[in-house]
């Protein structure tokens, strides 16, 4: 990297050369992007079916000129107020409260210059005023259906986030300082990072979120000792080595989502839910889903039940000699577990005696922002996209989930990696988040159509598995429902709706944070909090009104609940000592299969 002259001032000549190199590299990358975009079909130009929704909304907006004029006047008044305050500051008048302030937790404007420098403070507030006006105006349009309104609000917010001044070199004070201090080397390094991520994604930008070389499965993540004791086309089943002399009689089967890899539940040792549960005296089994390729394109949702959960239940029985057990389902793994429990109930199969659901939806009528990606046109486009390979590429789901928190999971890395020219720090959770998995075409389309689009799982007999009508009301075993207050993937009102679908006793608990940190919150960390209403009313507002906040992790509350349904203590079981011999060491080979 070039150094500053001895007088400490920027080397203008070197900076000009670096910016010229930046322009050359940008032109080359743009050419490559144009090449990669050739051959796109008409539907692939708008695969998310955004244009029609925005056109419909805009037409409705123009049909109400009074409301549009009122919105514009309000925008003008706020900008005039901001201009008056800024002018007063230039004249030496001490400013009072700002016209617009970032929302709590908005980290885009954390650099001191955004507040201390009058110019950048003005830019920041002007953006916030305009962005909120845009979102509020487009969100308040009347006369459009709920799905269109939801989509318009979501993509308007995406657009507003994208033009934040923090995302541009000349309006981000931190980037400007870095550019001057390094003679533009931050931009050159950032462009190299951009080129690397573009090549990594095969022409599609695949943002690096964590140091890919910092983590190794079985070495510093997914390290809880255990053995793979069963496998088929869809799963490997891991049984973990006990750490206590005795364990609860009923083993515990964990079903993670197949949208991600299972080791979110076994990250570093201090964050591992698996290790913690083993230490609490549970005989823990975890399903490790295969990372499917074209050979598994026709695997169905029913296959995932038969070869996934039901095969695992039988394997647990063989490995321990214990017929009954408890189970946990996380996210889509919980959705499948709910359907499977109803299937088992219809066949008088009582092998699962208690069930826990982590951030899992069964009623999708209020499924949150993910529903904007599901309508008939989008599903047809998605099906066409999967037709050739027979699966959805892992990067597609990775990008979809990141869009739900674009400022944190897209734009913050855009600024750090490409504008500031920095490498991301090692972060186990983001390493896992980037370790994407594929989805077999048949299963994925069924899940999106039957759950998200038609909400058929919540309807008695709405779906059939192996010819058996699925009715969640047949589930009479004890249930523990976990939801997270800031979950954008499985919003807690949506999770709570399952409270009214099951017929047995249900303990609903609301944790702090989001879809991942709300679940992975070990007691030793003493982070976040959870809410519990011991009366367990069936109305969400009543539940929230009577809920008591508790500091720290909810894991001990769950342990106290599950231990009542897990039988007396018996000698701990060692993997491979039962009817199923050990196949290989945990974490197994399935989880190591990459998506590229």
3-state secondary structure of 192: helix
Instruction: Give the Cα separation of 126 and 136 in Å (integer).
Output: 15
| Length of the chain in terms of residues written | 596
Peptide bond into 195 cis (omega under 30): no
Rounded CA-CA distance 160/108 in Å is: 13
Kind and range of the H or E run holding 509: strand 506-511
Q: Using omega within 30 degrees of 0 as the cis cutoff, is the peptide bond preceding 34 cis?
A: no
Q: Can you tell me the distance from the alpha carbon of 253 to that of 354, in angstroms, rounded to the nearest whole number?
A: 11
Question: What residues does 569 pair with on adjacent strands?
Answer: 248
Ramachandran assignment for 203, one of left (phi > 0), alpha (psi -120 to 50 degrees), beta (any other): left
- C-alpha triplet 187, 190, 196: angle, nearest 5°: 145
Helix H segments across 304-460?
311-320, 332-346, 376-387, 394-403, 406, 412-413, 428-434, 441-447
CB 505 within 8 A of CB 478: yes
Coil, strand or helix at 228: strand
Q: What Rg value do the Cα atoms of the chain yield, rounded?
A: 26
- Taking Cα atoms as reference points, which of 236, 270, 271 lies closest to residue 254? 236
Question: Choosing from 128, 265, 312, 331, which is the catalytic residue?
Answer: 331
Residue closest to 264 by CA, chosen among 221, 326, 316: 221
Between the two ends of the chain, the Cα-to-Cα distance in Å is: 33
Rounded to whole angstroms, how far apart are CA atoms 287 and 238? Answer: 6
Which has the closest alpha carbon to 577: 81, 270, 242, 209? 242
Query: Which candidate, 137, 189, 127, places its Cα nearest to that of 161?
Result: 127
What is the distance between the alpha carbons of residues 484 and 492, in angstroms, rounded to a whole number?
6
- Locus of tokens 């507030």: 125
CA distance 201 to 292: 19
Provide the 10 A C-beta neighbour count for residue 500: 16
Supply the DSSP symbol for 582: -
Residues 187, 421: contact at Cβ < 8 Å? yes
- State yes or no: is 366 an active-site residue: no
**CA 147 – CA 165 distance, rounded (Å):** 30
Q: Catalytic amino acids?
A: 331
């Amino acid at each position: 990297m070039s150094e500053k002259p001895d007088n400490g001032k920027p080397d203008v000549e070197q900076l000009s050369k670096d910016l010229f190199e930046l322009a050359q590299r940008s032109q080359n990358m743009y050419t490559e992007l144009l090449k990669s975009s050739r051959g796109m079909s008409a539907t692939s130009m708008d695969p998310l079916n955004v244009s029609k929704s925005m056109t419909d909304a805009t037409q409705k907006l123009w049909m109400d000129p009074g409301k549009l004029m009122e919105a514009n006047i309000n925008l003008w008044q706020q900008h005039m107020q901001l201009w008056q305050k800024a002018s007063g500051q230039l004249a030496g008048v001490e400013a009072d409260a700002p016209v617009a302030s970032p929302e709590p937790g908005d980290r885009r404007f954390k650099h001191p210059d955004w507040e201390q420098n009058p110019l950048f403070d003005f830019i920041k507030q002007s953006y916030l005023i305009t962005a909120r006006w845009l979102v509020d105006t487009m969100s308040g349009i009347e006369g459009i259906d709920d799905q269109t309104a939801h989509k318009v609000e979501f993509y308007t917010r995406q657009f507003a986030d994208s033009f934040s001044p923090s995302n541009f070199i000349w309006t981000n004070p931190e980037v400007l300082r870095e550019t001057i201090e390094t003679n533009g080397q931050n931009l050159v390094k950032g462009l190299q990072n951009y080129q690397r991520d573009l090549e990594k994604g095969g022409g599609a930008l695949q943002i690096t979120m964590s140091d890919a070389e910092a983590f190794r499965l079985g070495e510093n993540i997914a390290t809880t000792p255990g053995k793979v004791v069963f496998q088929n086309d869809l799963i490997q089943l891991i049984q973990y080595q006990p750490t206590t002399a005795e364990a609860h009689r009923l083993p515990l089967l964990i079903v993670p989502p197949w949208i991600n890899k299972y080791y979110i539940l076994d990250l570093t040792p201090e964050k591992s839910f698996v290790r913690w549960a083993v230490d609490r005296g549970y005989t823990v089994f975890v399903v490790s889903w295969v990372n499917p390729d074209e050979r598994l394109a026709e695997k169905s949702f029913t296959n995932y039940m038969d070869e996934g959960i039901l095969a695992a239940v039988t394997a647990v029985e063989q490995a321990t000699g214990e017929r009954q057990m408890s189970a946990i389902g996380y996210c889509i793994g919980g959705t499948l577990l709910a359907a499977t429990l109803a299937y088992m109930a219809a066949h008088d199969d009582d092998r699962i005696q208690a069930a826990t659901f982590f951030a899992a939806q069964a009623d999708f009528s209020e499924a949150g922002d993910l529903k904007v990606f599901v309508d008939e046109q989008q599903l047809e486009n998605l099906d066409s996209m999967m037709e050739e390979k027979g699966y959805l590429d892992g990067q597609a789901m990775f990008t979809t989930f990141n869009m739900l928190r674009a400022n944190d999971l897209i734009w913050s890395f855009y600024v750090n990696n490409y504008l500031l020219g920095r490498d991301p720090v090692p972060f186990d959770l983001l390493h896992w988040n980037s370790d994407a998995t594929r989805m077999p075409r048949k299963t994925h389309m069924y899940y999106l159509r039957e759950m998200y689009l038609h909400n058929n799982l919540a309807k008695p007999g709405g779906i059939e598995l192996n010819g058996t009508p699925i009715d969640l009301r047949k589930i009479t075993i004890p249930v523990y429902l976990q939801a997270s207050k800031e979950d954008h993937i499985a919003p807690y009102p949506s999770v709570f709706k399952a409270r009214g679908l099951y017929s047995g006793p249900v303990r609903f608990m609301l944790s702090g944070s989001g879809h991942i940190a709300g679940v992975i919150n070990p007691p030793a960390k003493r982070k976040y909090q959870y809410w519990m209403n011991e009366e367990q009313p069936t109305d969400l507002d009543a539940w929230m009104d009577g809920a008591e906040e508790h500091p720290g992790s909810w894991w001990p509350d769950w342990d106290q609940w599950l231990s009542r349904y897990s039988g007396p203590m018996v000698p701990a079981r060692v993997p491979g000592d039962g009817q199923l011999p050990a196949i290989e060491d945990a974490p197994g080979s399935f989880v190591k299969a990459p998506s590229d």
